[in-house]
Structure 1
């Protein structure tokens, strides 16, 4: 594979008022689109052809940040994104996540090679630890022979440019990861109007990350399930605009169809952040129901725990999860 061009802030931005804005990737020179394409929902597209169309339309519209993960749908999401990036790798800032969940550097490097193969590239722009959600995850990451040693080796080899970590359960675990001292380039977390009132990543983690020059990657702008939108308490557009108005580098949005992509593109084009009065108005809409996590179940429930993580930590699986069902089918030899 041929090493691809890397987009930087030296590249001219489209000379139109409705272009999708780009922001600096933390302390680096790279510029990334304020809207990112989520890898998990890409695997929810009805067909690989629709997934490829979604990737192409996003790139053509000016989106250059693409999220993924080694374990999403047992590799399907990476495979589908890789097929969508054929001939277009040089136009994107490509991220995927490693899923050791406390296991060692050798496994992480094996997963990296698998991810590179699926994605059809010789390097990642960003490699992140997936799902730092258990109290002992920071200790395991920093342990001798842990995943952080894989980060150092991957960067030295040129297969990875930047590194970071993700999680959705508790901001205190994020702070533990950061304050132990590894020079992460990015951190990914749920950011939405609900979050400000319960175990708030916005209030606790974002300031710490910004102080250290880390890129802030938002996710779950509608609370994961979107139930707060379905119940009419706030609109999906208000949630996305809220997250985009925070001091984020990009907001990664789950889009399982081209129709959803187009709705989000309409919001992102020419985006200008809200002022504090508008931000407060949206927070106030959900304040009454935001204090106990009922609409942020990823903070209080095992529903969002990836099966790989639960197995490693000796926790039982949720047999209703789609990925768990697919895992059992694969192990049984089913198609």
Structure 2
């Protein structure tokens, strides 16, 4: 592909996204000369790093949900064997249990098959706390390095200021990269596009940015419309989460099917759509969607957005934006709020 054609596609992709169109097909098409198997999980560029990741990823929180840790281990190992390589996690998920289970699942030579990500949960505390958490995560995950280390839950108004202050967590990202314990760095959040844009305004060279991307987000406080184009412009890797709105309520209420919701999210120009999977049955459902994935057309995406727009308008299916229901206890504590379950 010549440079003028590549530039045209990049600009056209960003413009199309601003209008709500999905251009994931372009990202998948430009993968090199070797044609993937028809039922393979598509691989996509991880920003400008030269690395490729699976279009579908495994969320870390749900891995620690089943009482039997063997369920989580089985999900991870079956996902890796099926061609999913992107694994999400966080230092505080299930009080470290999610990382421990993932670490066990990656033994026996599977670590090399994984693009392993976890998140640092300082929530305003400084570099020293962050580096201690990194050592905790490496120990639990039974590895000597992470492929991606991200600042978790940028959801409070003063978070960008706290993260970028002298001695803050951003300095830990730089140090961990310099020490070779982390390949790439980024940040995550689910509350408001303004917070993501404020993080980006600092000009720090993040490799990845994680955000909620689903059909309801398409028309309500939209990360798709406001943040995703900016991340693409900076050639960072966009990571989508909450494709089923975090708790699958739209599916339970019959508003959308899992296939519609996940296909919409995967049809956006993202590196990966991270999906919470708490059973082998859900894994097989999602694998069926991802194998040989064909993106929705922009007309199909617009029709689905328009169909759910009346229900998206009040945020009822994205309570992580409009309430504290999805905010983790670690962050609540650092910002002076009571933990979940003590709000009465």
Residue 266 in structure 1 maps to residue 294 in structure 2: no
Tell me which residue corresponds to 1:220: 242
Tell me which residue corresponds to 1:79: 100
The answer as to whether partners of 2:87 and 2:117 remain within 8 angstroms in 1 is: yes
Tell me which residue corresponds to 2:315: 293
Match of 1:25 among 46, 54, 59: 46
- Higher deviation after alignment, 255-264 or 222-231: 222-231
**SS of equivalent residue, structure 1 residue 128:** strand
Match of 2:162 among 126, 140, 143: 140
For 2:43 and 2:119, how far apart are their aligned partners in 1? 22
How far residue 254 of structure 1 moved from its aligned partner, in angstroms, is: 0.2
How far residue 316 of structure 1 moved from its aligned partner, in angstroms, is: 2.1
Match of 1:184 among 201, 206, 231: 206
- Higher deviation after alignment, 202-211 or 37-46: 37-46
How far residue 11 of structure 1 moved from its aligned partner, in angstroms, is: 10
The answer as to whether partners of 1:93 and 1:125 remain within 8 angstroms in 2 is: yes
**SS of equivalent residue, structure 1 residue 187:** strand
Choose between structure 1 and 2 for higher RCO, CA contacts under 8 A separated by at least 6 residues: 2
Tell me which residue corresponds to 1:154: 176
**Tell me, which stretches of 5 or more residues in structure 2 are unaligned?**
1-29
Residue 207 in structure 1 maps to residue 237 in structure 2: no
Tell me which residue corresponds to 1:127: 149
TM-score, scaled to structure 2: 0.89
**SS of equivalent residue, structure 1 residue 299:** helix
For 1:28 and 1:54, how far apart are their aligned partners in 2? 28
TM-score, scaled to structure 1: 0.91
1:280-334: CA deviation from partner (whole Å, max 9, x where unpaired): 111122111101111100001111111110111112222169xxxxxxxxxxxxx
CA RMSD, 1 decimal: 1.6
Residue 36 in structure 1 maps to residue 57 in structure 2: yes
Pair 1:13–1:46, CA change in 2 (3 A): farther
For 2:125 and 2:36, how far apart are their aligned partners in 1? 47
How far residue 13 of structure 1 moved from its aligned partner, in angstroms, is: 6.9
1:154-194: CA deviation from partner (whole Å, max 9, x where unpaired): 00000000000000000100000011111100000110000
How far residue 45 of structure 1 moved from its aligned partner, in angstroms, is: 2.4
For 2:160 and 2:104, how far apart are their aligned partners in 1? 34
1:27-65: CA deviation from partner (whole Å, max 9, x where unpaired): 111100000000000111241111111111100100000
**SS of equivalent residue, structure 1 residue 197:** coil
For 2:167 and 2:34, how far apart are their aligned partners in 1? 42
1:258-283: CA deviation from partner (whole Å, max 9, x where unpaired): 11001000000000111111101111
Pair 1:116–1:13, CA change in 2 (3 A): farther
Pair 1:241–1:320, CA change in 2 (3 A): farther
For 2:225 and 2:177, how far apart are their aligned partners in 1? 31
**SS of equivalent residue, structure 2 residue 147:** strand
For 1:10 and 1:243, how far apart are their aligned partners in 2? 20
Residue 105 in structure 1 maps to residue 132 in structure 2: no
Pair 1:282–1:10, CA change in 2 (3 A): closer
How far residue 257 of structure 1 moved from its aligned partner, in angstroms, is: 0.5
1:107-159: CA deviation from partner (whole Å, max 9, x where unpaired): 00000000000000000000000000011100111100000110111000000
**SS of equivalent residue, structure 2 residue 117:** strand
For 1:153 and 1:304, how far apart are their aligned partners in 2? 30
The answer as to whether partners of 2:31 and 2:44 remain within 8 angstroms in 1 is: no
Residue 88 in structure 1 maps to residue 110 in structure 2: yes
The answer as to whether partners of 2:73 and 2:105 remain within 8 angstroms in 1 is: yes
